[in-house]
Structure 1
Amino acid sequence: MAYPDELLVAGERVVLHTHPHWKMLIGPVLVFLVTVGAAAFLAALVSAQSWALVAWIALAVVAVGLVGRFTVLPFVRWRTTHFVVTTRRVLVREGVFSRSGMDIPMSRINTVQFRHTVLERVLGCGTLVVESASDDPLEFTDIPAVERVHALLYQEVADDA
């Protein structure tokens, strides 16, 4: 999936474009499954009652609210978070309605580090730490294939020097 070309300057090209690792979606998927299962179970329990229709509507409203808040919203947040490495900078963009972003020029990057736990190694993700010339280190969590991204970013920084 290409990053929008209109956001790039002349001569700049995308080297890497990724979203956070899919492990961020484990919790929302579990919430979805538990909510749907509980709503179906409770709907079956009240099906023989005279007030079943009212209970089903109430269950549906509560289930839709829970799924919207704890499943759809995190998915949209995941989908609209972009980590992009170009030939000139590192870009991070987040948000749908209220967007925020950060750009780090390659020429200002001093050090690139990564770290990951045993579980993150199994899942293939980790934290990327970028130290720029004047700022505190920036940590980007849940980066897929963090070692590959680290090597790629290091190569781009070395090429820029």
Structure 2
Amino acid sequence: MGYPQRLLSEGERIDLQLRPHWKALVLPVIALILTVGIGAFLAAVAPSHGTGAEASYIAIGVVALVLIVWFTLRPWIEWMNTNYVITNRRLIIRLGLIHRVGRDIPLEKVNDVSFRHDSLLDRMLGCGTLVVESAGEHGQVELDDIPHVEETQREMATLISGEPAPQTRKN
């Protein structure tokens, strides 16, 4: 789902639409696999007859459901609702589903754009942290787990300089 065109100003166009890198979902997937595996194992070894058999199945199911919601579903929803949009005029940051946070930084107020790979894995995957320094009161914004961070930094620097972007990209 892309950023709604109706929220753009006249003459404004989207050059980049980004979400955090997919690596942010690796731990939630591992949590899901472990929860389902351990829950299935516990259900298999739980007593199937006698007092408390039904209660033990319910307890296993409830604990597994809570763990799946907290460690898998919640991070996935947060990932789906984190959007970084770079237009020819501004950087748009939208975070959250219920507690929604938004920030717009005009590109003319951006002083510097840099990136860093926080680990060897980040470098291998091509993701990293994009650091946007603006002349506003908030100063510096760090956008974590940006895919293709070097290309994004280069394209954003091109937009800031006023040159047309060579090619738009959607992630």
TM-score by length of 1: 0.94
Letter in 1 for 2:4: P
Letter in 2 for 1:119: L
Q: Kindly, what percent of the aligned residue pairs are identical? A: 44
3-state SS of paired residue (1:72): helix
Structure 1 unmatched runs, 5+: none
For the aligned residue pairs, the C-alpha RMSD in angstroms reads 1.3
Deviations 1:101-138 (A, max 9, x none): 11110100111101103210111200111111244221
Show structure 2 runs of 5+ residues with no match.
164-171
Alignment of 1:127-138 (within 5 A): 127-134=129-136, 135-138=138-141
- Pair 1:102 & 2:103 matched: yes
Within a 5 Å distance, the mapping from 1:43-54 to structure 2 comes to: 43-50=43-50, 51-54=52-55
After TM superposition, where is structure 1 displaced by more than 3 Å over at least 4 residues in a row? none
* TM-score normalised to structure 2 length: 0.89
CA distance in 1 between counterparts of 2:2 and 2:35 reads 35
Q: Deviations over 1:1-29 (max 9, x none)?
A: 53101211111011011110111111111
Is the partner of 2:161 in helix, strand or coil?
helix
Supply the distance in 2 between the matched residues of 1:20 and 1:49 (Cα, whole angstroms).
48
Within the candidate set 149, 157, 162, 1:159 is matched to 162
Which amino acid counterpart does residue 70 of structure 1 have in structure 2?
Answer: F
CA positional deviation for 1:47: 4.4
* 1:15 matched residue in structure 2: 15
